[in-house]
C-alpha cells in the first residue's frame, strides 16, 4: 500500500513528466553539443564535461520536481501549492511541448550526424589539416633577396611536409601563384587545401626578419600571424619556431616525440646555408642562367662547408640537368655531378635527393642496369619525394614499362598536383594509350600553368586533322628545350611527320643541316628513319635518354617500324637495354624468345 502511494505521489508531483522531459531535452542538447562544438574546435574534454553535467542534472531535476511546483503565483513548495485553491493550480501541458520539440531536435540531429559523419571525418583528414605555402615576398631594402625569400618558403614547406597527418602541397603547385592576382579562396579550391601560408622575408646583412600569416582559404579568416627576428647565425632556430607554431595552429601531431627538432640543421655555417637557400630556388626555376648561377652558389657553399650534404645533393641535381637547359656539356657535367652525388650519400646515407640524382645520372649516361639501385633507394627513403618519383617514371617510360609509370607518376602528382612536368608525363601516357581526348585536356591544363611543354601534347592531339595548329604547337613545345632548330624548322619537321612524302623529305633536309641537334635522333624516329636514328643515338653524346627512347613505345606506325626493324635487337643490346630488361622486366609489348638466342626478343 505504501509503495503504491509512493508511486502515485511521484505521478501527482509530476516527477515522471519532469524525468521524461529532462531526458529528451538533455539528449537533444547533448546531440547539438556533439555536432556543433567540434566545428569551432572546442576541445573534447569540454564536450565530455558538459555531457556529464547534463547527466548529473537529472537527479537534481527530479528532487526539485518533488519539492517544488510551478503555480500561477510563481514557484512554490509542494506543500504550499497543495494548500492553494484548486482553480489556481490548473494542469500544465508545457511538458508535452518540451518532449515533442526535444524529440524532433534529437531525431533531426541524430540523422544529420549519421549523414554527415563520413563527410566531416573526410574533411578533417584531408582539408582542415592541409596547407599550401606560397612564395614569400622579398621586403629587403634593395629588393635583391628574391631567391633567398623563395628558398626560405621552400625550406618551411619541406619541413611541414614531414609532419605526420599534414597534407602539404608541393613546391611547383604552390609557387605557380607567385605574382598572380588570384584570391586565396580560389587557390585553396584549386589545390585542395584548407589553409594558406603567406609570408615575407627582410634580409639586411646578417639580420633576418620573417613575417607570416596563416589564413583559412574558405572565408579568408586570418587564423594566425607572427614575426620572427634573428640573424643568419640562428636562422635554424627561427625556422624551427616557425614550423612548430604552424603545426600547433593546425593541431597536428609532430610525429616521434623523441625527435627534438622538426627542421634538421644541415650545416653549422650560416653563410653556406644562405647560399644554399638561394641556390635551391634557382635550381627549381631552370630558365635562363638560373642553373649556372645555382651551381656557382652551391660550389661556394660546399667550399665553405665540405660536410654540407644537402648542398652536395643539390649540386648533383643542378649539374645533372644543366645540359638540358643551358649551354653545358654532358660529359663535363657528368664528371662532376656523380662525385657530388656520391659525396652527399657518404655524408648522409638517407639523402633521397642524392640517390635520385645518382639514378638520373646513370640513366642519362645510358647505364641502364646501374640506374635501378639508386632510384629504388631514393623511393625507399622517401616514397613521396616528387623528384625521385618523377625520375623513376622517366626510367620506366623510356624502357617500355608503360603499365607501371602511371602509379609512380600519380604518387608524385598527389604531392604536387600543379607540377607541369608531372602532368606532361601523364598526358604522354594518355597519348601512348590512344586516349587523345584525355591527353588534350591535360595539355590544356599544362598550358594554363604556363608551361610550353603543353605544345608537345597539343601538337600530338591535333595531328589527326588541324596541321596548322599542330605545327604551331609542335614548334612551341620542342622550342622550350635546348635546340638549335628555329620555329620554322620545327614546323617543317611536324609537317614531315604528319603530312605527305614531299614534306617528309623537306624535314629530313632540315635535320641534315643540323646533325648535332639534341633532338635529331628523336625526329629521325618520328620521320620513319630507324637506321639513321640508331646510328645518331650511338654516335651522339646526348644525355636525353628519355627524350629519345620514350618514342619507341607509342602505338603508331613510326614506332612499330622502329621496334620491328631488323637492327633494333642488336641496337638495344649495344646500348644496354637488353641487359636491363633481362635483369628487371621486359617492355609491356615485347617478349623474350630464348629459343632464337639468349638476347633475342620480339615486339608488337
* pLDDT (tens digit per residue) in 473-495: 999 988 887 788 999 999 999 99
Q: What is the mean pLDDT of residues 405-433?
A: 90
Residue 467: the pLDDT is: 86
Enter the pTM of the model.
Answer: 0.75
Q: CATH 1.25.40 region(s) of the chain?
A: 268-349, 381-603
Q: End-to-end distance of the chain based on CA atoms, in angstroms?
A: 98
Q: CATH 3.40.50.10070 region(s) of the chain?
A: 129-265
CA torsion, ordered 545, 548, 550, 554, to nearest 10 deg: -160
Mention every residue, 6+ apart, whose C-beta is less than 8 A from residue 495: 467, 471, 503, 506, 507
> How far apart are the C-alpha atoms of 552 and 587, rounded to whole Å?
11
Q: What is the mean pLDDT of residues 68-74?
A: 59
Between 21 and 337, the more confident residue is: 337
DSSP 42: -
Residue 556: the pLDDT is: 87
Burial 235-251 (b: 16+ CB within 10 A, else e): bbebbbbbbbebbeebe
Residue 122: the pLDDT is: 41
> How far apart are the C-alpha atoms of 127 and 189, rounded to whole Å?
10
Residue 125: the pLDDT is: 43
pLDDT confidence tier of residue 352, bands split at 50, 70 and 90 = very high
Model confidence over 540-552: pLDDT tens digits? 988 988 889 999 9
> How far apart are the C-alpha atoms of 441 and 297, rounded to whole Å?
39
Residue 322 has pLDDT above 60, yes or no: yes
Query: Which grid coordinates are listed for 400?
Result: 617500355
Q: What is the mean pLDDT of the chain?
A: 84
- Residues 312/302, Cβ–Cβ less than 8 Å: yes
Closest CA to 577 of 398, 347, 342, 387: 398
> How far apart are the C-alpha atoms of 9 and 590, rounded to whole Å?
92
- Residue 531 burial by Cβ neighbours in a 10 Å radius (0-12, 13-18, 19+): middle
CATH no. of 268-349: 1.25.40
- Residues 446/454, Cβ–Cβ less than 8 Å: yes
pLDDT confidence tier of residue 85, bands split at 50, 70 and 90 = low
Residue 586: the pLDDT is: 96
For the chain, percent of residues with pLDDT exceeding 70: 82
- Look at residue 604 and give its three-state secondary structure: coil
Q: Considering the domain delimited by 129-265, tell me its CATH architecture.
A: 3-Layer(aba) Sandwich (3.40)
Mention every residue, 6+ apart, whose C-beta is less than 8 A from residue 469: 458, 462
Q: What is the mean pLDDT of residues 365-388?
A: 95
Between 207 and 55, the more confident residue is: 207
Q: Considering the domain delimited by 381-603, tell me its CATH architecture.
A: Alpha Horseshoe (1.25)
Residue 190 has pLDDT above 50, yes or no: yes
> How far apart are the C-alpha atoms of 393 and 41, rounded to whole Å?
41
> How far apart are the C-alpha atoms of 126 and 128, rounded to whole Å?
6
Name the β-bridge partners of 214. 197, 224
> How far apart are the C-alpha atoms of 352 and 390, rounded to whole Å?
13
Rg of the chain (C-alpha set): 34
- Residues 569/599, Cβ–Cβ less than 8 Å: yes
Mention every residue, 6+ apart, whose C-beta is less than 8 A from residue 134: 153, 174, 175, 177, 178, 187, 196, 197, 198, 199
* Beta-sheet pairing, 130-133 with 167-168: parallel
Q: SS3 string of 434-495? A: CCHHHHHHHHHHHHHCCCCCHHHHHHHHHCCCCHHHHHHHHHHHHCCCCCCCCHHHHHHHHH
Model confidence over 489-546: pLDDT tens digits? 999 999 999 999 999 999 999 999 999 898 999 999 999 999 999 999 999 988 988 8
User: Where do the DSSP E strands lie in 194-244?
Assistant: 195-204, 207-216, 222-231
pLDDT confidence tier of residue 178, bands split at 50, 70 and 90 = confident
Residue 84: the pLDDT is: 55
Amino acid at each position: 500500500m505504501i509503495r503504491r502511494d509512493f508511486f502515485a505521489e511521484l505521478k501527482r508531483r509530476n516527477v515522471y513528466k519532469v524525468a521524461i522531459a529532462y531526458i529528451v531535452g538533455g539528449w537533444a542538447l547533448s546531440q547539438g553539443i556533439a555536432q556543433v562544438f567540434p566545428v569551432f574546435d572546442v576541445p573534447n574534454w569540454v564536450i565530455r564535461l558538459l555531457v556529464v553535467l547534463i547527466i548529473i542534472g537529472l537527479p537534481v531535476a527530479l528532487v526539485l520536481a518533488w519539492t517544488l511546483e510551478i503555480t500561477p503565483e510563481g514557484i512554490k513548495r509542494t506543500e504550499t501549492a497543495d494548500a492553494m485553491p484548486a482553480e489556481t493550480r490548473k494542469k500544465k501541458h508545457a511538458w508535452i511541448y518540451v518532449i515533442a520539440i526535444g524529440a524532433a531536435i534529437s531525431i533531426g540531429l541524430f540523422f544529420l550526424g549519421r549523414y554527415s559523419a563520413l563527410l566531416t571525418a573526410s574533411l578533417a583528414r584531408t582539408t582542415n589539416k592541409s596547407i599550401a605555402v606560397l612564395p614569400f615576398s622579398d621586403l629587403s631594402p634593395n629588393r635583391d633577396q628574391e631567391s633567398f625569400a623563395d628558398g626560405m618558403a621552400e625550406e618551411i614547406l619541406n619541413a611541414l611536409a614531414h609532419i605526420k597527418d599534414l597534407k602539404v602541397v608541393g613546391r611547383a603547385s604552390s609557387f605557380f601563384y607567385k605574382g598572380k592576382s588570384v584570391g586565396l579562396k580560389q587557390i585553396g579550391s584549386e589545390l585542395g587545401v584548407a589553409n594558406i601560408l603567406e609570408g615575407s622575408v627582410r634580409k639586411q646583412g646578417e639580420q633576418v626578419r620573417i613575417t607570416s600569416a596563416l589564413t583559412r582559404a574558405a572565408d579568408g579568416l586570418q587564423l594566425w600571424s607572427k614575426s620572427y627576428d634573428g640573424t643568419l647565425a640562428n636562422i635554424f632556430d627561427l625556422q624551427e619556431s616557425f614550423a612548430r607554431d604552424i603545426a600547433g595552429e593546425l593541431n597536428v601531431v609532430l610525429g616521434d616525440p623523441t625527435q627534438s627538432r622538426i627542421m634538421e640543421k644541415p650545416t653549422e655555417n650560416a653563410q653556406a646555408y644562405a647560399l644554399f637557400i638561394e641556390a635551391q630556388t634557382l635550381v627549381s626555376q631552370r630558365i635562363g642562367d638560373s642553373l649556372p648561377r645555382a651551381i656557382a652558389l652551391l660550389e661556394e657553399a660546399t667550399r665553405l662547408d665540405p660536410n654540407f650534404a644537402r648542398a652536395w645533393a643539390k649540386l648533383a641535381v643542378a649539374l645533372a640537368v644543366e645540359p638540358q637547359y643551358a649551354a653545358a656539356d654532358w660529359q663535363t657535367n657528368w664528371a662532376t655531378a656523380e662525385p657530388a652525388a656520391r659525396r652527399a650519400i657518404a655524408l648522409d646515407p638517407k639523402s633521397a635527393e642524392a640517390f635520385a640524382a645518382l639514378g638520373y645520372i646513370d640513366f642519362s649516361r645510358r647505364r641502364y642496369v646501374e640506374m635501378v639501385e639508386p632510384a629504388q633507394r631514393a623511393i625507399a627513403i622517401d616514397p613521396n619525394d616528387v623528384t625521385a618519383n618523377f625520375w623513376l617514371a622517366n626510367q620506366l617510360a623510356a624502357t617500355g614499362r608503360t603499365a607501371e609509370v602511371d602509379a609512380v607518376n600519380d604518387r608524385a602528382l598527389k604531392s604536387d598536383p600543379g607540377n607541369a612536368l608531372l602532368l606532361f608525363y601523364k598526358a604522354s601516357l594518355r597519348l601512348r594509350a590512344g586516349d587523345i581526348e584525355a591527353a588534350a585536356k591535360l595539355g590544356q591544363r599544362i598550358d594554363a600553368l604556363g608551361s610550353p611543354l603543353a605544345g608537345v601534347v597539343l601538337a600530338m592531339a591535333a595531328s589527326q586533322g588541324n596541321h596548322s595548329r599542330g605545327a604551331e604547337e609542335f614548334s612551341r613545345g620542342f622550342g622550350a628545350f635546348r635546340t638549335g632548330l628555329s620555329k620554322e624548322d620545327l614546323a617543317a619537321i611536324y609537317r614531315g611527320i604528319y603530312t605527305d612524302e614531299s614534306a617528309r623529305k623537306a624535314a629530313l633536309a632540315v635535320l641534315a643541316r643540323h646533325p648535332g641537334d639534341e633532338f635529331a635522333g628523336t625526329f629521325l624516329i618520328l620521320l620513319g628513319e630507324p637506321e639513321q636514328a640508331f646510328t645518331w643515338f650511338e654516335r651522339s653524346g646526348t644525355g636525353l635518354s628519355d627524350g629519345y627512347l620514350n618514342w619507341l613505345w607509342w602505338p603508331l606506325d613510326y614506332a612499330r617500324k622502329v621496334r620491328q626493324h631488323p637492327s633494333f635487337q642488336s641496337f638495344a643490346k649495344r646500348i644496354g637495354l637488353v641487359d636491363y630488361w633481362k635483369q628487371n622486366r621486359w617492355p609491356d609489348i615485347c617478349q623474350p624468345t630464348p629459343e632464337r638466342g639468349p638476347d633475342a626478343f620480339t615486339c608488337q
